Chain A
Amino acid sequence: MTVQDPAPSLEAEQSGITQPAHTPFSMVLRRFLRHRAAVVSAVFLASLVLVCVAAPLFEAWLGTTFADQDLFGRYAPPSPGHPLGQDEIGRDVLIRLLYGGRVSLLVGVAAALCAAVIGSLVGLLAGFYGGRLDALLMRFTDGVIALPILPFLIILSAIDLKKLGVPQTIALSDEVSLYRIVIVVSLFGWTTVARLVRGGALSVRQREYVRAALALGASNARIMRVHVLPNVVSPIVVAVTLSIGHLILVESTLSYLGVGIQLPLPSWGNMLVNAQDLIYSAPALAIYPGLMIFLTVIAFNFLGDGLQDALDPRATSQKR
């Protein structure tokens, strides 16, 4: 976050110079640590990521994979070999949850980042240049916001990639539903960031340090990169964190509707679909992925709140 100089050559010669005790980063960290729900959420999410990344290790340990079926073990209760039991075709629930977590987190984070890049670009151009370009881009943004997203996403998800000229090997691979959903979701998710960045850029471009840079003859691209973007990055970080939770929900919804992540790749959303017919006979199969979605989304929201308070303490004091 903080823009600390990445140590050019001269710093080495002048060792012995002490860093100031109250760097902006340490202040942000201290404020963040005061926010207990956010700290708990950060720890939870970090462990979740760690465990999901380590999913292949669990596979090796349990001697099964996320796709391995065992028709003699349908609906088996938890056992040492299957800590959370087995599903309707005898797959290990824990491992599917972990792989589902990988997919859901990956989709959430990747889509949020893509959306942030698009949104930052649009917002930066609109806010910095203002005038007609601003009006044009913001009306376009309003248009995207006003679109009924779900039907649109369903249509986009149903596009046959082969007919678009995408090579068969890619269009028919298992992961294509993953890429597709990241792209589709980020195409609609950038509007929040665009508006935030535009607002920030509008106010930053009036600051005297921007005028000073103009007087130096710095190019607009340089001013946007060096002076405007770093000073609007806090709201971007908060918006991205909050939107990850939202995008995980969108992914679940799309997967639930059958246009998201396609089997055999598990995601929390499509695990819920499989479980819906069995909600009375095997409620656990619905509860596990549902609970994971719930906890993860809520953790990202707490984390976003905590970051907001840490990065922009003035907003907090206004709230209370």
Chain B
Amino acid sequence: MQASLVRADGLQIVFRSGRATHVAAQDVTFNLAPGESVGLVGESGSGKSSIGQAIAGLLQPSAGTIDIAPSTAPWPTVQMVFQDPAAALNPRRPVRRLLAEPLEVLSRAMARTVLQGRAVDDLVVAAARAVGLRDEHLQSLPHELSGGQRQRVCIARALLMQPRVLILDEPTSALDLTVQAQILNLLSDLRREHGLTYLFISHDLAVVRHMCERVLVLQHGRVVETGASDQIFAAPAQAYTRRLTEAAQMQPAI
């Protein structure tokens, strides 16, 4: 088996509020091999997002380990794209400033040696073009963009960190159907170009089948089924998975 880039072992995530506890993930173990795209599917509340956030370092797991293969880069190489791009962009910053942020953080991580003024601008323009944004969008505030354009900004922001792994948390669920297809194609292209590894979180098996080679099916925080996405889609072993695939077939596949 190929060396893993990310390895989650016995992951447990528990939320406590007062005396009530909610187990978002229980004994979740999986691998992400370099260049692989793995789907994480399940109903809402099945713990998909919590697992994604834990891998991105935004959430401390209550038990279990997350091993990320050591990299030479002194900055986080697991980046995240969120479900609602309108919420994931600071409403008061124009796109140019939003995209400059990863570079400003990076140049701090690298003790301000590399990136200064002009270079930042050039990189921002290049990153915006790479995700299909036009130069005039750089002046805009997030609310002046369409949902699809906003998600492109989020993707560009994540890519500017030169990540190895992208956690895509329902990246198209807030978008129109036609825009969904464009963003999914963009993500496929980017993966090929940059050799990225995806953890693709979705409730929509049809999208996951299109995007991922391998799928983990999650129910109540536990992995109930795992395998190649074609196989899971064609012959689901679990009744729960079957329900999900049937739900996916109700809507036009992409």
Q: Is the CB of B87 within 8 A of A17?
A: no
Within A216-233, the residues touching B (CB, 8 Å) are 216-219, 222, 226-227, 230-231
Q: Is the CB of B76 within 8 A of A217?
A: yes
Given the known interface contacts A9-B117, A214-B58, the answer about A230 and B90 at a Cβ–Cβ threshold of 8 Å is yes
| C-alpha gap A20/B57 in the complex (Å) | 37
Most buried by A among B101, B117, B144: B101
Q: Is the CB of A215 within 8 A of B56?
A: yes
Q: CB within 8 A of A209: which of B88, B96, B139?
A: B88
Q: Does B114 contact A (CB under 8 A)?
A: no
Size of the B side of the interface (Cβ < 8 Å), in residues, is 41
Q: Is the CB of B57 within 8 A of A216?
A: no
Q: Is the CB of B87 within 8 A of A215?
A: no
Q: Is the CB of A208 within 8 A of B139?
A: no
Chain A contacts for B154, CB-based, 8 A: 212
Chain B contacts for A226, CB-based, 8 A: 90, 93, 101
Q: Is the CB of A9 within 8 A of B90?
A: no
* Per-residue A-contact encoding for B217-245, CB less than 8 Å = 1, 0 else: 00000000000000000000000000000
Given the known interface contacts A5-B94, A208-B87, A209-B89, the answer about A216 and B118 at a Cβ–Cβ threshold of 8 Å is no
Q: Is the CB of A17 within 8 A of B101?
A: no
Q: Does B92 contact A (CB under 8 A)?
A: yes
Closest to A231 in B: B92
- Nearest-neighbour CB distance to chain B for A12, whole angstroms, equals 11
Q: Does A19 contact B (CB under 8 A)?
A: yes
Chain B contacts for A2, CB-based, 8 A: 92
Q: Does B141 contact A (CB under 8 A)?
A: yes
Closest to A212 in B: B88
Q: CB within 8 A of A24: which of B87, B141, B158?
A: B141
- Nearest-neighbour CB distance to chain A for B12, whole angstroms, equals 21
Size of the A side of the interface (Cβ < 8 Å), in residues, is 31
- Nearest-neighbour CB distance to chain B for A286, whole angstroms, equals 47
Q: Does B91 contact A (CB under 8 A)?
A: yes
* Per-residue B-contact encoding for A1-18, CB less than 8 Å = 1, 0 else: 011110011110010010
| C-alpha gap A211/B154 in the complex (Å) | 12
Closest to A23 in B: B141
| C-alpha gap A106/B93 in the complex (Å) | 33
Q: Does B193 contact A (CB under 8 A)?
A: no
Closest to A217 in B: B76
Given the known interface contacts A5-B94, A11-B139, the answer about A212 and B82 at a Cβ–Cβ threshold of 8 Å is yes
Q: Is the CB of B101 within 8 A of A218?
A: yes
Within B88-121, the residues touching A (CB, 8 Å) are 88-94, 96-97, 101-102, 105, 108-109, 117-118, 121
Chain A contacts for B161, CB-based, 8 A: 216-217
- Nearest-neighbour CB distance to chain A for B91, whole angstroms, equals 7
Q: Is the CB of A9 within 8 A of B118?
A: yes
Q: Is the CB of B135 within 8 A of A212?
A: no
Q: CB within 8 A of A20: which of B80, B109, B140?
A: B140
Q: Does B214 contact A (CB under 8 A)?
A: no
Most buried by B among A2, A216, A217: A216
| C-alpha gap A218/B125 in the complex (Å) | 21
Q: Is the CB of B58 within 8 A of A215?
A: yes
Q: Is the CB of B139 within 8 A of A8?
A: no
Q: Does B79 contact A (CB under 8 A)?
A: yes
Q: Does A36 contact B (CB under 8 A)?
A: no
Chain B contacts for A45, CB-based, 8 A: none
Q: Does A30 contact B (CB under 8 A)?
A: no
Q: Does A265 contact B (CB under 8 A)?
A: no
Given the known interface contacts A9-B118, A208-B88, the answer about A213 and B101 at a Cβ–Cβ threshold of 8 Å is yes
Given the known interface contacts A211-B82, A226-B90, the answer about A8 and B96 at a Cβ–Cβ threshold of 8 Å is yes
Q: List 17 A-B contacts (CB under 8 A).
A: A4-B94, A8-B96, A9-B118, A10-B96, A11-B139, A17-B139, A211-B82, A212-B80, A212-B157, A214-B58, A215-B56, A215-B76, A216-B101, A218-B101, A226-B90, A227-B90, A230-B93
What are the 7 closest A-B residue pairs judged by CB atoms, nearest first?
A208-B88, A3-B92, A208-B87, A209-B90, A230-B92, A208-B82, A215-B80
Identify 11 new A-B residue pairs, CB closer than 8 A, beyond the known A211-B80, A212-B154: A3-B93, A5-B139, A8-B96, A9-B117, A10-B96, A14-B135, A17-B135, A20-B144, A208-B87, A216-B161, A231-B91
